[in-house]
Amino acid sequence: MPRPGKNSYSDQKPPYSYISLTAMAIQNSAEKMLPLSDIYKFIMDRFPYYRENTQRWQNSLRHNLSFNDCFIKIPRRPDQPGKGSFWALHPDCGDMFENGSFLRRRKRFKVLRAEHMTCKSSPMMHYFHHHHHHPGTAPPNVGRLPHFQGYGGITCAQPGGFKHPFAIENIIGRDYKGVMASGLPLTSVMHHLGYPVTPQLSSMVNSMWPHVGMLSESMGGVSVPASSEYAPFSVSAKGLYHNANGQTLPAVPVPIKPTPSLGPVPGLTGLQSGPAQICSPGVIMQPLLPSMILCLHNTGVGCLWNHNIT
């Protein structure tokens, strides 16, 4: 047909929307999540069209990432440093392009929620970064998950907009809001999402955060009693961790109760301080949430790592 352009076929704009291109990139990845730069790379690698005007389309793509609920942001673990977060597909977004058109979805995926507040980060705990130590081990929740109803229709903010200074969202990191508001026990949420919740982990979670044992919707609301049994959260999120040099670290280690059942390992000291210890031998890292990692040492001493909290 009349081909006005002088571009070769491969240089033509691919018939895919940014959403589909991004989804392709993410699904193509082993862990079903990619940092922004790798999404760029994926697209540029296979579509020559996008090797030009990068400024333009990358801005559009970033816009799509944060604008569309079908993409969720997963904080990096402190032991996997790098720029930006990982991006994944919301597990509930299903087959957005089942109609065969990658240009336009049949309908926009929107996270169910109460009118006002947007809390896109609420379902963030669907994915956890996995260690690469065991290549055979797949990420716990890649792709389809049974629907998780917990955070549907959750009020994330008071209609009035006023937020008590001790409102949970002012105390804890934003990423926790969804969990906090889910109305479910954290461990059951984790289990439901396919995360292996061992009895040991479960009891530990419950002993560390009794109040989390029953996540209540009200915790996502306005105020938290001043007395607040939520102290552990406020400590870990509010408190800033200063190392010996007086630097403020992005993560706040919170000592937790030792578990006597585990014996000490010779030659290793307990976890007391900074990030350096995280990857030491004898340390088990249990991602509880993408931005919350439980580090357990064989000695039974542990750390709760909160990161991405500012």
Partner DNA sequence: ATCTGTTTATAAATTG
Partner DNA sequence: CAATTTATAAACAGAT
Residues that bind DNA (CB under 7 A): 16-19, 35-37, 40, 56-57, 59-60, 62-68, 73, 83-85, 87, 101, 103-108, 118, 120, 250, 310
- 3-state SS, residue 180: helix
Closest to DNA by CB, 112 vs 284, is 112
Query: Which position has the token pair 């008590």?
Result: 164
d(CA 235, CA 230): 9
- Nearest distance, CB of residue 251 and DNA, angstroms: 11
Closest to DNA by CB, 73 vs 192, is 73
Closest to DNA by CB, 102 vs 166, is 102
- 3-state SS, residue 65: helix
Q: Which of 219, 230, 146, 213 is nearest to 181 (CA)?
A: 219
Please say whether the beta carbons of 175 and 289 come within 8 A: yes
Closest to DNA by CB, 136 vs 161, is 161
Distances (CA, A) of 17 to 104, 111, 207: 7, 20, 47
Q: Which of 181, 255, 182, 189 is nearest to 224 (CA)?
A: 181
Q: Which of 202, 296, 212, 307 is nearest to 257 (CA)?
A: 296
Paired residues of 304 in beta bridges: 254, 294
- Nearest distance, CB of residue 63 and DNA, angstroms: 4
- Nearest distance, CB of residue 146 and DNA, angstroms: 24
- Nearest distance, CB of residue 104 and DNA, angstroms: 4
Closest to DNA by CB, 87 vs 127, is 87
- Nearest distance, CB of residue 103 and DNA, angstroms: 6
